[in-house]
């Protein structure tokens, strides 16, 4: 499988900027994990509150249209495409960049719409919570596994069918306006795999953002 290094580098830069400049995850201390308010930590099945229709709508709008991370993701992914000249038929000139930005925005919005619509029908949770556990390994497993697992309406962990459908469905639909050599199965699966990996990195950095921010502040002093 051929990997676009320009896209990977751009996505990594987007993750760092998004996390440290705009990340809205609460900065919980080690002693607060597992004891804070239910909406700030991963809720247990005994006190889990399922998403309402209003919650789902607000989360859909926030993830796709209002949070800065959505636009950073679009911009830097398009920048990676521009650097790697993907697709080459669109050219390398600056005039092609707006088209790539619009294409990536449509891709991520379509993927987010697929995710939210399916999650509502399957009663899956689209929210992301910090781990109530302690320890690097447990928190790492929690963050990375969120790319494939979520909560059902009873608060139990389940396969995130809607989220995975969004990861792969967005780039598959994207091939409808790409050159014909890009196929839904080939390009869609390849880009979906890349998105899953990048998202796992985002979740990991968000999980450890309090410690990472403290480390960077300590070094700056």
Output the pLDDT for position 215. 73
Residues in the chain: 221
Selection from 7-11, 21-25, 26-30 with the highest mean pLDDT? 7-11
Contact by Cβ (8 Å): 84, 76: no
Contact by Cβ (8 Å): 128, 146: yes
Decide: helix, strand or coil at residue 157: strand
Give the structural domain span for 181: 5-220
- Which distant-in-sequence residues (6+ apart) come within 8 Å of 35 by Cβ? none
Residues pairing with 149 in the sheet: 159
pLDDT tens per residue across span 105-131? 999 999 999 999 999 999 999 999 899
Token couple for 142: 């929690």
pTM to 2 decimals? Answer: 0.78
Residue 93 has pLDDT above 50, yes or no: yes
Token couple for 83: 């650097």
Closest CA to 129 of 141, 143, 116: 143
Kindly report the average pLDDT of the chain as a whole number: 82
pLDDT tens per residue across span 54-81? 999 999 999 999 998 889 999 999 999 9
* Count of domains for the chain: 1
């Amino acid at each position: 499988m051929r990997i676009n290094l320009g896209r990977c580098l751009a996505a990594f830069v987007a993750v760092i900027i998004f996390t440290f400049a705009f990340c809205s995850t609460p900065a919980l201390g080690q002693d607060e994990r597992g004891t804070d308010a239910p909406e700030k930590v991963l809720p247990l099945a005994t006190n889990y509150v399922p998403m309402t229709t209003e919650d789902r709508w607000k989360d859909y709008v926030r993830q796709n249209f209002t949070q800065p991370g959505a636009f950073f993701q679009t911009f830097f992914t398009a920048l990676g495409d521009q650097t790697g000249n993907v697709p080459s038929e669109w050219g390398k000139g600056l005039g092609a960049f707006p088209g790539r930005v619009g294409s990536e925005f449509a891709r991520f919005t379509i993927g987010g719409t697929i995710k939210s619509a399916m999650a509502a029908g399957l009663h899956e949770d689209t929210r992301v919570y910090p781990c109530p556990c302690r320890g690097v390994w447990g928190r790492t497993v929690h963050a990375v596994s969120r790319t494939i697992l979520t909560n059902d309406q009873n608060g139990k962990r389940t396969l995130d069918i809607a989220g995975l459908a969004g990861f792969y469905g967005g780039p598959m639909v994207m091939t409808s306006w790409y050159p014909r050599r890009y196929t839904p199965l080939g390009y869609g699966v390849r880009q979906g795999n890349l998105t899953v990996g990048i998202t796992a990195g985002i979740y990991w950095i968000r999980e450890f953002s309090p410690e990472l921010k403290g480390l960077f502040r300590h070094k700056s002093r």
